[in-house]
Amino acid sequence: MKKVRKALIVFFVLYLLTGLTISSCFAGYNNISMTLSLDRKEATAMDSMGMVVKISGVRSNDSWPVVKGLESFDVVQIGSSSRIEVINTTFSSAIEYNYMIQPKEEGTYKIGPAQLTIDGKTITSNTENLTIIKPSRSSDVDRGEIFLSTSLSSNKIYIEEQAVYTLKLYNQGGVKLVSLSLPETEHLILKQIEKPSEYQSVYNGKTYQVLEVRYVLIPSKEGTYGIKPARMSLNVMQPRHGSGFGMFDDPFFLSSGSISKNVASEPLELKVLPLPAKGRPSEFTGMIGTFNMKASLEPAKIKKGESATLAVVVEGHGNVKRIPDLKGPVQQDIKIYADQPVFEESVDSGGIKGLKTMKWALVPEKEGQYEISPLKVSFFDTQKQQYRTIETSPFYISVLPGAKEVLSPSSVAPEAKQTNNVVKKEIKEIGYDILPVHDSIKDLSNGSSLQNRNLMALLLLITPFLIYLLTFLGLKYGIKSDKAMAAVRIKKAAGIIIQQCRKGKICSGDMISELRNYLNNRFGLDLGSLTAYEADNILKSKGVSSETAYKFKDIILELEGAVYTGKGNEICSLAEKIIEIIKKVEKELR
């Protein structure tokens, strides 16, 4: 039975896990997206390029996507692949469709979007731009099976402007790269952009496999530079034929070996120009490249005391580290708090790209309509070859009255407030002076000395203590009045006789004396002897009930009986009765 229960638990857990897995897989499929990418942005008409269309969020698909903009290309479908990934416990799947495309003519093309219909839903991808340029003239010369070629996007650039340095290794297969030595020139910095790409190209009528690596080149000083050749060490696989007997002539049995080969590119020349002085704006900070600026103010309508966020983004290609931290707008009646600017740098096919985001919190102190003055930034535009100043458009912010006026002394500012339809003005200090003299006749009272030792106060301090002390001592040690003594005697009368009775050693004769003493003490009497009838009368006169007085009388009679019968010296047997009656008397007397 236990085993069955265990098996059920295991089955239940597995069922849950499987359910969760499947549900998470399906959860991933809900977000289907498609992206189109090219391995290059620029190529010659002789080159072939790789194109990938990736559909994320599906596991299988029978049909290929339709890609627009490929009319001027020869397209070959290479194949497709699918994969499932687990990223942060989330399942994701994707299918990649690979193409090889070759342009038919030069020009600029917009490739895409790719489209695909899955379960009646059409998915559309992004588009990519591709520029097809003329092949270089050097293609007239036959350069053998392997050669290295380098080129610059421009031979004449401005200081700190970016140029693209492209390195291409042409080969006809079986090449393994060992090392690459890039040219090192003082004041020129090379930085790789993008991963190396491989494609097929035709050079001088021959088909080559091309390995292309692109770098961004940044000059830090003006002048004319000779860029030395780039050098590459390679291992080239070469077929080694056998002795030519029988079956060994079969290509399957051909063996091969590798030989080392060094190749070098042609040297290049670069002219670096200084920035023109003409038209240089005063606020120019040295930014060179192509930049743009975006800005937003949200929300545009707020209540007084609330904050709106002004965000300005400067982005572009060039010496992006020179993007300045802009000073926030200055606006009366609006407090402006700047955030720490955020700078991001990346590389893409256009070179080094930068993006700086600057934010300010705007807190209006008064209601009304405000125009936020635009923010400007100047740079040298390398495309237009001139200085440009870009600026944000002016923003307008509408400030409504605050929801609730909170009056606090610390926040008091010299400004007007509108409460209950009455315009109240904060108090503004205009002048400063001391307050006047105290001239009332009351102010002429005789003051006490600075170190006041007031006798009356001292008396008040000491006298109560002394009175208490004397009283306390008097009560404790002694001086008692007759009245007080009598009161003590009354209080203690019952206690004494009860105590005697409890001792149990008192004889009947003495007990009569004790009862007499009790009445004497209790009622302040001075009886020398006591008869039963006297006791009865006394008790009744003092307010004791007749019944109790009668019982008291009976006890005395019994005691007298014992005395008169010769048993006066014997231990009294009425002790308990006497205690009871004394308590009763005391109770009735209260």
Partner 1 sequence: MRTFGYVTIIAFISLFMLIAAGLAQTSGYEETFYKANTAYRQDRFQEAADSYAQLITAGYKNGNMYYNLGNAYFRLDKPGYAILNYERARILIPRDADLNFNLKYARDRIQDAIEEPQGFLETAFFWVGSFNFKELLYCFAALNLFFWGILFVRLFKKTEWTYYASMILFILWMITGASSGLKWDILSTDDRAVILEKETNILSGPDAKDTVLFKLHEGTVVHHERSEEGWSLISLPDKKRGWIKDGALENVIENK
- Which residue of 413, 434, 455, 479 would you call a contact of partner 1, by CB under 8 A? 434
Per-residue CA distances from 40 to 70, 124, 165, 218, 266 (Å): 15, 21, 14, 21, 23
Closer residue to partner 1 (CB): 409 or 447: 447
Closer residue to partner 1 (CB): 337 or 472: 472
SS3 content of the chain, % helix, strand, coil (to 5): 25, 40, 35
Tell me how far, at minimum, the Cβ of 448 lies from partner 1, in Å.
6
Q: Which residues pair with 315 in a beta bridge?
A: 292, 355
How many residues line the site for partner 1 (CB under 8 A)? 30
Closer residue to partner 1 (CB): 20 or 466: 466
- Looking at residue 248, its amino acid is F
- Which residue of 88, 383, 449, 565 would you call a contact of partner 1, by CB under 8 A? 449
Closer residue to partner 1 (CB): 173 or 474: 474
**Using CB atoms within 10 A of its CB, is residue 197 exposed (0-12), middle (13-18) or buried (19+)?**
middle
DSSP element (H, E) containing 92: strand 90-103
Tell me how far, at minimum, the Cβ of 475 lies from partner 1, in Å.
6
- Which residue of 450, 529, 543, 566 would you call a contact of partner 1, by CB under 8 A? 450
Both tokens of residue 88? 């942060």
**Using CB atoms within 10 A of its CB, is residue 397 exposed (0-12), middle (13-18) or buried (19+)?**
buried
- Which residue of 435, 455, 482, 565 would you call a contact of partner 1, by CB under 8 A? 435
- Which residue of 63, 88, 452, 529 would you call a contact of partner 1, by CB under 8 A? 452
Closer residue to partner 1 (CB): 436 or 478: 436
Cα distance between residue 515 and residue 520, in whole Å: 9
With the C-alpha atoms ordered 100, 103, 108, 110, is the resulting torsion angle positive or negative?
negative
Cα distance between residue 232 and residue 68, in whole Å: 39
CB 166 within 8 A of CB 217: no
Closer residue to partner 1 (CB): 437 or 479: 437
Closer residue to partner 1 (CB): 90 or 454: 454
Interface characters, 454-483, with partner 1 (x: CB under 8 A): x--x--xx--xx-xx--xx--x--------
- Which residue of 63, 122, 446, 565 would you call a contact of partner 1, by CB under 8 A? 446
Interface characters, 1-40, with partner 1 (x: CB under 8 A): ----------------------------------------
Cα distance between residue 133 and residue 246, in whole Å: 50
Supply the angle between the helices 546-562 and 575-589 in degrees, to the nearest 10: 150
Closer residue to partner 1 (CB): 259 or 456: 456
> Which one, of 89, 24, 33, lies nearest residue 58 by Cα?
33
Q: Is 432 in the site for partner 1 (CB under 8 A)?
A: yes
Per-residue CA distances from 161 to 141, 271, 407 (Å): 32, 11, 57
Cα distance between residue 350 and residue 191, in whole Å: 12
Q: Which stretch binds partner 1 (CB under 8 A): 95-103, 184-192, 346-354, 452-460?
A: 452-460
Instruction: Say how many residues make up the chain.
Output: 590
Tell me how far, at minimum, the Cβ of 440 lies from partner 1, in Å.
8
Sheet with strand 33-38: strands edge to edge: 33-38, 49-56, 90-103, 73-87
- Which residue of 437, 479, 482, 590 would you call a contact of partner 1, by CB under 8 A? 437
Q: Is 448 in the site for partner 1 (CB under 8 A)?
A: yes
Pairing of strands 107-111, 42-44: unpaired
Q: Is 438 in the site for partner 1 (CB under 8 A)?
A: yes
Closer residue to partner 1 (CB): 20 or 467: 467
CB-facing half-sphere around the CA of 497: CA atoms within 13 A: 30
Q: Which stretch binds partner 1 (CB under 8 A): 208-216, 328-336, 433-441, 568-576?
A: 433-441
Tell me how far, at minimum, the Cβ of 473 lies from partner 1, in Å.
11
Q: Which stretch binds partner 1 (CB under 8 A): 23-31, 137-145, 336-344, 436-444?
A: 436-444
Tell me how far, at minimum, the Cβ of 445 lies from partner 1, in Å.
6
Both tokens of residue 156? 């004449």
Closer residue to partner 1 (CB): 13 or 458: 458
Q: Is 439 in the site for partner 1 (CB under 8 A)?
A: yes
- Looking at residue 446, its amino acid is N
Closer residue to partner 1 (CB): 250 or 433: 433
Tell me how far, at minimum, the Cβ of 486 lies from partner 1, in Å.
17
Closer residue to partner 1 (CB): 251 or 409: 409
DSSP annotation of 252: G
Q: Torsions phi, psi of 587, nearest 5? A: -65, -40
CB 329 within 8 A of CB 353: no
Residues 149-188 that bind partner 1 (CB under 8 A): none
Residues 409-428 that bind partner 1 (CB under 8 A): none
Q: What residue ranges bind partner 1 (CB under 8 A)?
A: 432-439, 441, 443-452, 454, 457, 460-461, 464-465, 467-468, 471-472, 475
